[in-house]
Chains A and B, each alone.
Chain A
Amino acid sequence: MMPVFTEHFGNASSIHWFGQQAKTMIDDARSKVAKLINAETSEIVFLSGGTEADNLAIRGIAESQKSRGKHIITSQIEHHAVMHTCKDLEKQGYEVTWIPVSRDGLVDPGNIQRALRPDSILISIMHANNEIGTIQPIEEIGAIAEAADVYFHSDGVQSTGKIPVDVRRLKVDMYSISGHKIHGPKGAGALFIRKGTILKPLMTGGGHERNRRSGTENVAGIVGLGEAARLARLGLSTEMPRVEALRNRLEAGLKARIEMIHVNGEDAPRLPNTSNIMVDFAEGEGLVISLDLKGVAVSTGSACSSGSLEPSHVLTAIGKTPDEAHGSLRLSLSALTTEEDIDYVIHVLPGIVERLRELSPYYKKV
């Protein structure tokens, strides 16, 4: 990324050599991202991040297909970028079917099949959930979408780089990727758009990115995303099994040392790096702040919900009460997490939980 700030100042749309250099760097990044998910290079569109990718996919199809129908199918545990976009479309006269999930946080493909109507135009189901990490049966849903000839989008922000992704095998038409979720820069993302997909762009302008996304390219961000994608692909087979072992060590260690804790989505297929732990009788905000003061950065609910009092819609959808949802912790690991880090959390968390439980009027009664 750094040479883009210090040497290669060209605008990728220009004919001159400086511009051509920038364009080359972007296309190089494009091929790296494509390779990570088994797409063709020309099927990758760069944009500002996961949220824009989700918006472009959903609004783009809604707009281009509205003469065919106005029915969209999605789940109750999507990221806000999908959820609020679909809610907005509901206000514009689209109909949305919100598919529930099991207590483990899984969508039943049979429910998607049953929700299909002649006027259905889009199915949008996330690949892996951002809060609890459960992995959805995308391949099965992809087959259903293909048979019904309905566009299929999957928000792959959480799953990319953590589990193998093959957009051909998954039969998705669109797949969202975010830079910073794979150690790339913030403010850069990509949308895979299968060749032949008809989708109306969100931005009007100079027709960048093959008319999919107008606006001068964020060259540095894109180059960073490309490199992150390359490294993520290499780490899939080497790093992720190690991360999964660490995650399991964390959960086992905490369960052994703290009473009354539960792992959400434990029995479902899960991402190797995510752990969502519900701590009974301890308030999530206090847990997060106490851990942060000890140098451990975690979140409660979902990061995007911080500063809001609404319990996480994901935890509500898997049947948790608002109180249970507020007492949940999301711990995310990465290739950079060490065994020492994990043991440190196992060491400090029990004391924090005990202190918070002492303050809980309900705990004393148990």
Chain B
Amino acid sequence: MIAVAMSGGVDSSTAAVLLKEAGEEIVGLSMQLWNQRRVLQGEDEDLKRAGRCCSLDDIWDARRVASHLGMPFYVLNLENEFESTVVSPFVASYLRGETPSPCILCNNDVKFHHLVDKAAGIGADKVATGHYARVRHDESLGRWLLLRGKDRGKDQSYFLFGLTQNQLSKTVFPLGELSKPEVREIARRAGLPTYDKAESQEICFVQGRSYADFVEKYAGTGSEKPGDIVTKEGEVVGSHTGIHKFTVGQRKGHVATGRPQYVVKIEPFENRIVIGNDPELHERRFTIRDSNWIAIENVTEPIRCDVQIRNRFDPQPASVSRSEDGKIVVEFDKPQRAITPGQAAVLYWDDVVVGGGWIERIAVRPERPSVKTL
């Protein structure tokens, strides 16, 4: 039996259609992940209970689809797991000056981790999702591989770099070989009530508000710590009301030199925002933490690959090696704009995901580019 993770959207619904048409025994599982009452502080309990879950409409849609397909369907409550492994780290990450990527944490630690377990508990040996990615077992390597979805424009392998070999061995991606228009067509043909539903783009739990506003509400009083905006030389050119409101590469209105200025660095300990011009945003080297390897067992010798440092980014050639202190170091062949701590760096060999990790520290730009002192 295969457990299909159903979000209520077209993709996961179509994944269920395809598995059913292939004659698989399927069961639908939806995850109730977030409850808005968790950020409503001090308000009336009854009002909070009335607020309930932000994604309830989606769960209702998922149930309608399951009913349409005549498959058993259940809602799992993973609110506690979601809060501790996604929301709380998301807020902490902003408060230490990073730009987090919560959907990846959700995939790693909620969707795959808990779902694989829950599915096993009800007798399902595999889990299917509506991600545009492919899984393949490579006999010669003796490893499970993760590949980009065939529709390069929709590919979601970047968000899945954290899957372990065990998780990959139990995962099915029925949409991996399809394009979005093909998926919509299958959904329409199958008569799904949701075939023309719009895609969700926002981070589910901050819907309808700004990230900064969410961070402040969640972290409570004291999260808005005012500080300075400085140039690279340390000259104070302005002030800010909290580093969580900034992202590296974001254009900042302060024009000190007559040229456009950007956030080039966020310094959490100094509580400072450093601005500079565009060339100062370009770096070559950075380290990653909490890496996960898929196509290889580990990085021992330096490897060549293409590295993607955010969702919308063309992977660029780089060398990846292990430094003397054990850190994984990524060095692009050419400097790249706005390498952002908190985002994921995913390594590829063509369509194959080698592995990845979380961007940690950006190397200081050498004073004279000709001298390699890194």
Contacts and interface: CB of A to CB of B under 8 A. Distances in A.
A341 interface: no
A307 B77 contact: yes
Contact of B121 (A88, A286, A307): A286
Contacts, number: 37
A197 to B, nearest CB: 28
A41 interface: no
B42 to A, nearest CB: 14
A308 B121 contact: no
A359 B113 CA distance: 13
Contacts of A84: 46
Contacts of B32: 307
B218 interface: no
Interface in A296-344: 307-309
B77 A290 contact: no
> Which of A289, A309, A359 has the most B CB atoms < 10 Å from its CB?
A289
Contact of A289 (B45, B80, B122): B122
A293 B121 contact: no
Interface stretch (B68-76, B289-297, B312-320): B68-76
Interface string B117-137: 110111100000000000000
Given A283-B121, A355-B121, A355-B123, A289 B77 contact: no
Interface string B7-35: 00000000000000000000100001000
Nearest to B78: A309
A359 B121 contact: yes
Contacts of B122: 286, 289-290, 293
Given A289-B74, A309-B80, A356 B46 contact: no
Given A309-B80, A359-B117, A290 B123 contact: yes
Contacts of B27: 293
Contact of A308 (B45, B76, B77): B77
Contacts of B123: 290, 293, 352, 355
A140 interface: no
A285 interface: yes
B331 interface: no
B280 interface: no
Contacts of A87: 45
A146 interface: no
Contacts of B75: 307
B72 A309 contact: no
Nearest to B44: A91
B351 interface: no
A309 B79 contact: yes
Contact of A309 (B77, B117, B118, B121): B77
A292 interface: yes
A48 B74 CA distance: 28
Contacts of B76: 285
Contact of B72 (A286, A292, A356, A359): A292
A293 B118 contact: no
B127 to A, nearest CB: 14
Interface residues of B, number: 17
A356 B121 contact: yes
Interface in B69-94: 72, 74-77, 79-80
Contacts of A285: 76-77, 118
Given A292-B72, A308-B77, A309-B80, A359 B120 contact: yes
B316 to A, nearest CB: 42
Nearest to B45: A87
A205 B72 CA distance: 44
A66 B101 CA distance: 56
> Which of A84, A283, A307, A352 has the most B CB atoms < 10 Å from its CB?
A307
A42 B161 CA distance: 70
A286 B118 contact: yes
A289 B74 CA distance: 7
A356 B32 CA distance: 21
> Which of B72, B77, B117, B121 has the most A CB atoms < 10 Å from its CB?
B121
Nearest to A283: B121
Nearest to B120: A359
A171 to B, nearest CB: 33
Nearest to A88: B46
A106 to B, nearest CB: 29
A355 B124 CA distance: 11
A261 B195 CA distance: 46
Nearest to A352: B123
Contacts of A359: 117, 120-121
A328 B174 CA distance: 36
A293 B45 CA distance: 35
Contacts of A289: 74, 121-122
Nearest to A292: B72
Interface in B101-149: 117-118, 120-123
A293 B72 contact: yes
Nearest to A293: B72
Given A88-B46, A307-B32, A290 B79 contact: no
Nearest to A87: B45
A138 B102 CA distance: 54
A252 to B, nearest CB: 26
A48 to B, nearest CB: 19
29 contacts: A84-B46, A87-B45, A283-B121, A285-B77, A285-B118, A286-B118, A286-B121, A286-B122, A289-B74, A289-B121, A289-B122, A290-B121, A290-B122, A292-B72, A292-B74, A293-B27, A293-B72, A293-B122, A293-B123, A307-B32, A307-B75, A308-B77, A309-B77, A309-B79, A309-B80, A356-B121, A359-B117, A359-B120, A359-B121
Interface of B: 27, 32, 45-46, 72, 74-77, 79-80, 117-118, 120-123
Given A88-B46, A286-B118, A289-B122, 19 more contacts: A84-B46, A87-B45, A283-B121, A285-B118, A289-B121, A290-B121, A290-B122, A292-B72, A293-B122, A307-B75, A308-B77, A309-B79, A309-B80, A355-B120, A355-B121, A355-B123, A359-B117, A359-B120, A359-B121
Query: A-B pairs with the 9 shortest C-beta distances?
Result: A286-B121, A289-B122, A290-B122, A289-B74, A356-B121, A359-B121, A309-B77, A286-B122, A293-B72
